[in-house]
Structure 1
């Protein structure tokens, strides 16, 4: 998985970053000496509408609710300005904070997220408006936060309430590596092998591809069997 696009979280999880040509050269070196020490297993996320006849879409990182809205805002409003990735993401974060802090709703700011219902089969339900919704099989989420080892067959979910205080707690926990060590108000960390997302025109983005849940047409996520990947750091 060579780095490509704007975020490269999957490549980062596998220890691949920077120039993709140099990463490819490193892969060739590993192939010459043997790949056994570099092979790691990762489950994938299978996204579908829940029907058996529907062919699922596979990925490793899903962003939804306010996070998906922010990604689309950055993609459609900020990237066209021709700024660097880092500056684009910084401006997007500032816009999100301004809209939350002052309650401003304008075309030049990210929209307020729609209410969603998140069901973890056999493990209850979350409902509300969330600034951040992440489902992943990666070890690393955002801001360098590691989720720790998951149980086989379990996807990791993080949902952050749509409030400035919850976002500040998320930033503090990520900065000081406290995520998951203590329970924090407004931050929900769960695991499950089946996750159902319902809402009215609620967007999710799976590895860069946009999907939308609507009333009566939920998005269903299931974890797959482990698939081998090559990690550059042994």
Structure 2
């Protein structure tokens, strides 16, 4: 009997060293149905095949792009002819934000063992629901008619520049993830506190307008712009509960100001974001968010999307999907 279906992308960076261990583990556990895709375009067909074996849990083994593409196809494809099985994500990527939110940390094989153990018993106490972010484009107020792209963590404004800086200039150095992220943070602080501009440092953010529909608009240059449906945001912080507006989309925008950034970091560490007003720090919730600017880009779970004059990025929340939380 198949209890777990594992969808792997051998081309993801983490799987270059991990996949042989994953294959060996699956070979020793016939309760796992392991399906490997060579291209992102094969994920829909993979899910339709997986649906035939009726797994109790679907596990995604790949980087942020693999997770995003799988969630997009899973939400739109109706491969399971009804509600899909709960989704688990192995910690196998550069950022692992989704895996971290679901309690999957450390060795991916240990996380897979935990999934298999949970799949052998009642799952109800371990299932959580998460809404997704549905990203579309509008040009002069008219939608492009394309299928929305889905994800759970979006970074924009200066955060996009920093993420691209880390991806294009720091990751190629081959350093450990923690050191790469530390050097990126150091470069960001140098540009903000010292005002240094150089080719080897992140770019200065462009002006951007952010609208929480029915709740007003904020505009300016932001060092950090985050929209997420994850319970955790950056540096392990959480937006304080009880924000005044409903909606699954959590927004945090921090103006390009070192003092405002320090306020946000300290408030985040103590779980106080949104609990009190802080100059330069904007926190809110909503079910629809619009991002506009002359040159504004965002990264949704590793994939870049851009907007320009007359072209908007529109974010809406989806209906919830079930996920498997690995933490006790």
Name the TM-score, length of structure 1 as normaliser: 0.95
Q: What is the distance in 1 between the residues matched to 2:267 and 2:238?
A: 11
What residue is the counterpart of 1:171 in the other structure? 265
Q: What is the distance in 2 between the residues matched to 1:175 and 1:92?
A: 19
Q: What is the distance in 2 between the residues matched to 1:109 and 1:52?
A: 35
1:96-175 paired onto structure 2 within 5 Å: 96-149=188-241, 153-175=247-269
Structure 1 stretches lacking a partner, 5+ long: none
Is 2:131–2:319's contact at 8 Å kept on the other side of the alignment?
yes
Runs of 4+ that moved beyond 3 A: 148-153
Q: Comparing 151-160 with 83-92, which one deviates more in the overlay? A: 151-160
CA offsets, 1:121-160, max 9 Å, x none? 1110010000000000011000111124577743000000
SS of the residue aligned with 1:218?
strand
Q: What is the distance in 1 between the residues matched to 2:325 and 2:233?
A: 17
What residue is the counterpart of 2:38 in the other structure? none
Q: Comparing 164-173 with 49-58, which one deviates more in the overlay? A: 49-58
Is 2:237–2:270's contact at 8 Å kept on the other side of the alignment?
no
> 1:92: Cα distance to partner?
0.8
Q: What is the distance in 2 between the residues matched to 1:213 and 1:18?
A: 36
SS of the residue aligned with 1:229?
strand
CA offsets, 1:22-79, max 9 Å, x none? 1111000000012111111100000001417221000000000001100000111111
What residue is the counterpart of 2:296 in the other structure? 202
Structure 2 stretches lacking a partner, 5+ long: 1-88
Is 2:239–2:268's contact at 8 Å kept on the other side of the alignment?
no
What residue is the counterpart of 1:217 in the other structure? 311
**1:31 aligned onto 2:125:** no
Residues 149 and 11 (structure 1), Cα distance of their counterparts in 2 relative to 1, 3 Å cut: farther
> 1:181: Cα distance to partner?
2.2
Is 1:43–1:153's contact at 8 Å kept on the other side of the alignment?
no
SS of the residue aligned with 1:191?
strand
SS of the residue aligned with 2:298?
strand
Question: How many residues are treated as equivalent by the alignment?
Answer: 234
Which of 1 and 2 has greater Rg? 2
Q: What is the distance in 2 between the residues matched to 1:36 and 1:177?
A: 28
